[in-house]
Amino acid sequence: MTTLDKSFEPASCEARLYAGWEASGAFAAQPDRDAEPYTIMIPPPNVTGSLHVGHALTMTLQDILVRFRRMQGRDVLWQPGTDHAGIATQMVVERLLDKEGVSRKELGRETFLSRVWQWKAESGGNITRQLRRLGASPDWARERFTMDEGLSVAVREVFVRLFEEGLIYQDKRLVNWDTALQTAISDLEVESRDVKGHMWYIRYPVEGDEEIIVATTRPETMLADTAVAVHPENETYKHLIGKIVTLPLTGRKIPVVADEYADPEKGTGAVKITPAHDFNDFEVGKRHGLEMPSMLDKQGRITLAELGEMPDFVRSLDGLDRFAARKLIVAELEAQELLVEVKPHPHMVPYGDRSGTVIEPFLTTQWYCNAHVLAQPAIKAVEEGRINFVPKQWENTFFAWMRDIQPWCISRQLWWGHRIPAWYDEAGKVYVARDEAAAQAQAGDGVALTQDEDVLDTWFSSALWPFSTLGWPEQTDELKTYYPTDTLVTGFDIIFFWVARMMMMGLHFMGDVPFRTIYIHGLVRDEKGQKMSKSKGNVLDPLTLIDEYGADALRYSVAAAAGQGRDVKLGAKIVETNRGFITKIWNAARFLEMNGVKPNPDFKPENAKLPLCRWVLARANEAINAATAGLDAYRPNDYAGACYRFAWGDVCDWFIELAKPGFASEDAAEIRDTAAYVLGVLLRLMHPLIPYVTEALWDHFGYGAACSLISAPWPTPVVVQDEAQALEATNWLIALISEIRSIRSEMNVPPSLKSPVLLQDASPQTLARAEQNFEAISRLARASEIGPLDGPVPKNAAQAVLGEATIILPLEGLIDLEAEKKRLAAALAKAESELKKVQAKLGNADFTSRAPEAILEEHREREQSFGNEVTRLSAALSRLA
């Protein structure tokens, strides 16, 4: 065994260890093995994406879970893959084409798609390559892409079946139309932004020489107004209901209708109705049987096609952009003295989350999925606890959305994606089938068919991910073994986009939930808690952090900060600090190695005799329990904390320090064996969290074959002889050393000066412990000797109380008498105040009669121990007077 380097160099070993794990087959699921499966489906990242800190968080948490379960002996499938991101990918490739000076349309559909596949082959693997840098351990051999042939079969199968069941249908209604991308998008892809807009008040003349003033934020849509609505109870306008308005600019005759949608409190209480350009107006239009002409085309330009005969002014607007048209229309209204006033009016305007342009409500025929029907079993599954959200409060968000779910518009006017398996004959009749031949069979020989031009929403295929990746609609062994999956790990931002839809599709087609637990984690923010964004310039690149500090430091940082329901604040400083922990472990191992520690397969922890060894084994038991409980409860911060406290607090600060003299004593063998055993526990315990450094040390010490820690068994608590007594003995020793250090530090006694430690009124057991541990006490508490106080208390000694005994440090001449008096007085005051509090409670009859016996007992003990402390501190203080 070569000695360990002075420090851990992540860059020099991460790639090697990762390759070793992969080559060992540790990542691979083994459906043939007779082991309980544990499955996580990776939320497929966007194929155009590159690894950002959000991925680093979610993938680290998933990797921790799968490595943990793998070590517990489960047959782990962590299913990797990417989704085809219809809009995003098409945009990326179109931008490339732009540079070549060709457009998608010039290229044609087939050629364009081949260019997308070419792009995917060259650049689509970015994010999965980057995931490896993080140490993620999915089953790469099973990697899937939502546009793979198998997954595409699943998409067509689902579409056809839902169509046959009437759960997919075509409908003409308003959609959110992106005029830049020229496609429909779903409600979820629209973000409302606060905009400082205006409210225009426009005079509409009513028959009989009256007028009605309407208020609108979108004056240009008046070209397609087909009514004016007022509230039926609105006294101001009641008499106008049923009268005819001459719509300005167009001359169209439109009715005044009574509808409760017209809020008397808003604007003037009269509202223009444009059914083809507003979701609320559309409903009003349906209620009153109004015509629904459009006045905008797919690009958001004025079109006269559906408006009929129009005067010259309106004709002059043909083809003009909607915002330019607005200006001209307002100017014209003003010129005609029809504009009453303009008021600033902050309101919400819908924007496309991909294109960033204003979304138009647009009347078109699209394919819809009846989400309402599919949602019911999903709601029930959560209500009945067959699916659990962690943290639980996300259920509320889920229920609120699911109970009011709208029809899901699933068609997109794009080329990149799953083309809708629907064909039309010349009369426009639709045939939905698994392939063209089947459609032809339905239509009959010789009927000319053309396939629907549109593709499906990317989330439609993502919704099938938990079973399409396992081979569905084939009834594969994988499907039987791994469905339902165990845990879904994701951020709350895609509960509706993806999580809910997987539940709907999984329950409908598999008859069972797609996963049992949904672990929702927070968002990664910068050190100040600000959302990361390119415009703010506060984006952290996880790959840079890995290069600089190592993957382990990054993983530890995000996991330790991932409290339940909490956002993760991350900065380079934090990762740098946490790298110190990785280094600490490395150095502790290095020290043990220098002292001849190596794994001894014959060592039986239950035979350990030394109190220190039994103590550290007992602490290891506690750490194992705490770490395992943290992981079981999806509390990565608790898990990381348990590892940190055990590694740094117990092993480094105390076990190694107290063991130092032992390496040269007759107890050396047991100490070395215990140290090796405990290091082995520590490495296994921390492996899911910080896989690289632990594997490097595991291999170096020879706990197993190279790259075998990933497959090593998860540690379990061991039997420790007389565990309680072992804990007590070493805890006393630690307390003694801490007390002495505290006195010396506060009295400014230089460490170079050793002092005797005298114990007044110490029990024989205490004295024995003190003598047995003299070397350690000498090293750690700078004691020149330790023993019972023999004779009177030396003058002007420093003193402290520990249990039944008083610790006396004869430091005459070295201590500042006043400072020591002050210190003792403070300690006494503290003890007295605690004693008073306890006594007050015990003196309260209500307390003693109602509090449980265990609490009473605890209080009595505290009364005694504080009482003892008060007595001893008073005595100590009086000796200084």
Partner RNA sequence: GGGCACAUAGCUCAGCGGUAGAGCACCACCUUGACAUGGUGGGGGUCACAGGUUCAAUCCCUGUUGUGCCCA
Interacting residue ranges for RNA, rule: CB under 7 A: 6-7, 187-188, 192, 348, 393, 396-397, 400, 529, 531, 561, 563-567, 569, 577, 579-580, 583-584, 587-588, 590-591, 594, 637-638, 648-649, 652-653, 656-657, 660-661, 664, 738, 741-742, 745-746, 748, 750-752, 779, 834, 841, 844, 846-847, 850-852, 855, 858-859, 862
Q: Which is nearer to RNA, 114 or 577 (CB)?
A: 577
Buried b (16+ CB within 10 A) or exposed e, 26-40: bbbbebeeeeebbbb
* Token couple for 739: 């007390």
Q: Which is nearer to RNA, 70 or 823 (CB)?
A: 823
Shortest Å, Cβ 347 to RNA: 10
CA distance 243 to 211: 11
Q: Which is nearer to RNA, 206 or 696 (CB)?
A: 696
Q: Is residue 330 within a helix (H) or strand (E), and if so which, with residue range?
A: helix 322-335
Shortest Å, Cβ 111 to RNA: 38
Inter-residue contact 424 to 147 (CB < 8 Å): no
- Count Cβ atoms within 10 A of the Cβ of residue 149 and give its class: 0-12 exposed, 13-18 middle, 19 or more buried: exposed
Q: Which is nearer to RNA, 504 or 651 (CB)?
A: 651
Shortest Å, Cβ 485 to RNA: 26
Q: Which is nearer to RNA, 653 or 722 (CB)?
A: 653
Q: DSSP labels for 95-136? A: HHHHHHT--HHHH-HHHHHHHHHHHHHHHTTHHHHHHHHTT-
Tokens 């995003």 -> residue: 88
CA distance 112 to 116: 6
Shortest Å, Cβ 389 to RNA: 11
Shortest Å, Cβ 294 to RNA: 23
φ/ψ of 644, rounded to 5, equals -60, -50
Q: Which is nearer to RNA, 140 or 774 (CB)?
A: 774
Inter-residue contact 624 to 680 (CB < 8 Å): no
Inter-residue contact 526 to 532 (CB < 8 Å): yes
Shortest Å, Cβ 137 to RNA: 26
3-state helix vs strand vs coil in the chain, percent to 5: 50, 20, 35
Q: Which is nearer to RNA, 419 or 782 (CB)?
A: 782
Inter-residue contact 535 to 562 (CB < 8 Å): no
Q: Which is nearer to RNA, 7 or 731 (CB)?
A: 7
Shortest Å, Cβ 621 to RNA: 20
Shortest Å, Cβ 400 to RNA: 6
CA distance 266 to 591: 76
φ/ψ of 284, rounded to 5, equals -60, -45
Is the bond preceding 10 in cis, omega lying within 30 degrees of 0? no
φ/ψ of 183, rounded to 5, equals -145, 160
Is the bond preceding 344 in cis, omega lying within 30 degrees of 0? no
* Token couple for 709: 């820690």
CA distance 614 to 612: 5
Tokens 């003349």 -> residue: 205
Shortest Å, Cβ 675 to RNA: 12
Q: Which is nearer to RNA, 283 or 567 (CB)?
A: 567
Shortest Å, Cβ 476 to RNA: 37
Shortest Å, Cβ 402 to RNA: 12
Closest CA to 369 of 519, 568, 158: 158
Q: Which is nearer to RNA, 172 or 850 (CB)?
A: 850
Q: Three-state SS for 501?
A: helix
Q: Which is nearer to RNA, 413 or 583 (CB)?
A: 583
Shortest Å, Cβ 728 to RNA: 14
Q: Which is nearer to RNA, 745 or 763 (CB)?
A: 745
